[in-house]
């Protein structure tokens, strides 16, 4: 009898993925109750399924565990019933929407987090007996509901009328910190700035004031690169000068002197970035809507997951010009709203087999001319506004300082994470942002 109850009256015994069948039950019941009888019925049915799932899992799971000899038998799906019901209950209470959309999205979200098991799911599942089986699914339900609520909240704020206003020190410091953190972590600074500009009054991304402020923040992040990589950059230029004085032929310099080879590879990559920017700038810039944000965050997540499974073994001597061109083209994709420049270049290099150390250092070597070049183009395009004397100097300086200071910490985090092959953490974050963005469009 215990096996019958914990299997959701036989759902856990069906072929395929038992957890999917278990979590599908509350989604179908929620949608049916909501459509036929209204929100109150949907809430009460989820509360009943949540309570029943919790009681059955805790009371009956120990005997099933003893019978099967497994700590988490796949046939137990009462925990999935409880977790899915919790997600739907929280979402309906805090951020309700159409019952069909809610049941479909929250079913998918819950299954994602039940499989991926973000913190603290893995820790909770180590609890004894049925408590661990139940707790990790309840945590997955909270994650699913949290992402849904965040997405609907974003839709709410995005729909509010925005008052015209000027930049304040508080808002520019916040945006500077966001820029510094996300410019180097592979999660797209541009995508985050677009999100925050939707939420902060007076932050129109197309306004010349915001365009110039954006390029000022990029200068702050260049300063953080110079601070973190100051020793590497000093050694690079010292080695470059020494190599050029060695009297070797150009072909020998490229083959035997690492600084010369790195410099030429950097030039090749930068040219590839510039060509892509010139040819496709308008096309790539056109995808800046909320759907584009979500879509390209999904692509970024796939890049990051893929890079974590690739073992780089190629050193600088085998780092060819073809690889430099591909990395440069990947850098150009950062024009897209939520494609991270650092994520694109580092992941492309690692996927090509280059060691993470060289992938990171090369990524930030070519970032300096790319960021400065982009800033110069933006400054030229908005030269009239710069000459008008209307630009708010003090708030802008606050933003630059924030982007530089936070950028230093972000760079150090990225160096450690990339070498330990934990880029999938950022991949999961990008995937969560994508889902939140799609939910906001419903």
On the question of pLDDT at 442 being above 80, the answer is: no
With cut-offs at 50, 70 and 90, classify the pLDDT of residue 42: very high
Question: Could you tell me if 214 and 86 lie in one domain?
Answer: no
Question: Could you tell me if 60 and 189 lie in one domain?
Answer: no
Tell me if 139 is assigned to some domain: yes
On the question of pLDDT at 162 being above 50, the answer is: no
Please provide the average confidence, as pLDDT, over all residues in the chain: 80
Domain tally for the chain? 2
Q: For 99-125, write each residue's pLDDT tens digit.
A: 888 898 899 888 888 887 888 888 887
Proportion of the chain in helix, strand, coil states, percent, rounded to 5: 80, 0, 20
Q: Which residue(s) pair with 314 in the sheet?
A: 354
Q: Which residue(s) pair with 354 in the sheet?
A: 314
DSSP string for residues in 152-181: HHHHHHHHSPPPP----HHHHHHHHHHHHH
Question: Could you tell me if 102 and 133 lie in one domain?
Answer: yes
Question: Could you tell me if 373 and 257 lie in one domain?
Answer: yes
Q: For 190-210, write each residue's pLDDT tens digit.
A: 777 666 666 555 555 556 667
Question: Could you tell me if 90 and 182 lie in one domain?
Answer: no
Which comes out higher in pLDDT, residue 383 or 180?
180
Question: Could you tell me if 208 and 303 lie in one domain?
Answer: yes
Question: Could you tell me if 314 and 211 lie in one domain?
Answer: yes
Question: Could you tell me if 284 and 381 lie in one domain?
Answer: yes
CA torsion through residues 353, 357, 360, 363, sign: negative
- What is the phi-psi region of residue 16: left when phi exceeds 0, alpha when psi lies from -120 to 50, beta otherwise? left
Listed residues 117, 132, 159: the one ending a domain: 159
With cut-offs at 50, 70 and 90, classify the pLDDT of residue 320: confident
Q: For 165-186, write each residue's pLDDT tens digit.
A: 456 777 778 788 888 887 778 8
Tell me if 399 is assigned to some domain: yes
CA distance 305 to 388: 47
* pLDDT cut 90: percent of the chain above it: 11
CA distance 126 to 143: 18
The burial class, CB within 10 Å (0-12 / 13-18 / 19+), for 206 is exposed
Distance of CA 128 to the CA centre of its chain: 34
Question: Could you tell me if 182 and 323 lie in one domain?
Answer: yes
Question: Could you tell me if 149 and 179 lie in one domain?
Answer: no
Question: Could you tell me if 183 and 153 lie in one domain?
Answer: no
Overall pTM > 0.75: no
With cut-offs at 50, 70 and 90, classify the pLDDT of residue 164: very low
CA distance 440 to 170: 26
On the question of pLDDT at 132 being above 80, the answer is: yes
DSSP string for residues in 119-140: TTHHHHTTSSHHHHHHHHHHHH
Span 355-360, mean pLDDT?
81
Closest CA to 377 of 215, 225, 223: 215
pLDDT of 288 reads 59
The domain of 143 spans 2-159
Which comes out higher in pLDDT, residue 249 or 329?
329
Q: For 245-298, write each residue's pLDDT tens digit.
A: 776 666 666 666 777 778 888 889 989 988 888 777 666 555 556 777 788 888
User: What is the Cα Rg of the chain in Å?
Assistant: 26
Question: Could you tell me if 147 and 213 lie in one domain?
Answer: no
């Amino acid at each position: 009898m215990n096996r019958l109850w914990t299997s959701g009256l036989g759902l856990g015994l069906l072929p395929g993925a038992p957890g999917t069948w278990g979590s599908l039950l509350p989604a179908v019941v929620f949608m049916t109750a909501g459509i036929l009888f209204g929100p109150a019925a949907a809430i009460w049915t989820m509360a009943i399924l949540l309570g029943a799932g919790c009681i059955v899992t805790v009371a009956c799971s120990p005997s099933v565990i003893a019978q099967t000899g497994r700590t988490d038998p796949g046939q137990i799906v009462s925990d999935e019933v409880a977790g899915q019901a919790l997600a739907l209950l929280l979402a309906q209470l805090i951020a309700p929407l159409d019952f069909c959309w809610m049941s479909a999205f929250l079913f998918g979200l819950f299954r994602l987090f039940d499989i991926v098991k973000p913190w603290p799911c893995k820790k909770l599942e180590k609890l004894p007996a049925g408590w661990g089986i139940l707790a990790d699914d309840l945590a997955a339900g909270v994650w699913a509901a949290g992402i849904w609520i965040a997405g609907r909240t974003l839709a709410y704020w995005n729909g509010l009328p925005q008052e015209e206003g000027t930049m304040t020190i508080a808002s520019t410091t916040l945006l500077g910190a966001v820029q510094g953190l996300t410019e180097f972590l592979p999660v797209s600074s541009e995508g985050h700035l677009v999100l925050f500009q939707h939420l902060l009054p007076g932050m129109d991304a197309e306004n010349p004031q915001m365009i110039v402020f954006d390029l000022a923040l990029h200068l702050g992040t260049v300063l953080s690169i110079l601070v973190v990589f100051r020793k590497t950059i000093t050694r690079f230029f010292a080695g470059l000068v020494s190599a050029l004085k060695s009297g070797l032929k150009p072909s020998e310099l490229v083959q035997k002197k690492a600084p010369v080879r790195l410099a030429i590879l950097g030039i090749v990559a930068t040219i590839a970035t510039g060509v892509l920017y010139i040819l496709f700038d308008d096309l790539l810039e056109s995808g800046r809507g909320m759907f584009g944000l979500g879509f390209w965050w999904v692509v970024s997540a796939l890049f990051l997951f893929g890079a974590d499974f690739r073992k780089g073994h190629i050193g600088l001597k085998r780092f060819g010009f073809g690889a430099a061109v591909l990395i440069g083209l990947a850098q150009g994709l950062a024009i897209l709203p939520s494609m991270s420049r650092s994520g694109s270049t580092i992941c492309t290099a690692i996927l090509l087999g280059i060691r993470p150390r060289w992938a990171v250092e090369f990524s930030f070597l070519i970032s300096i001319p790319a960021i400065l070049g982009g800033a110069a183009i933006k400054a030229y395009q908005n030269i009239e506004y710069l000459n008008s004397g209307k630009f708010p100097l003090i708030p802008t300086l606050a933003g630059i300082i924030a982007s530089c200071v936070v950028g230093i910490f972000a760079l150090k985090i990225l160096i450690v994470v990339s070498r330990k092959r934990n880029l999938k953490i950022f991949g999961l974050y990008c995937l969560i942002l994508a889902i939140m963005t799609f939910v906001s469009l419903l």
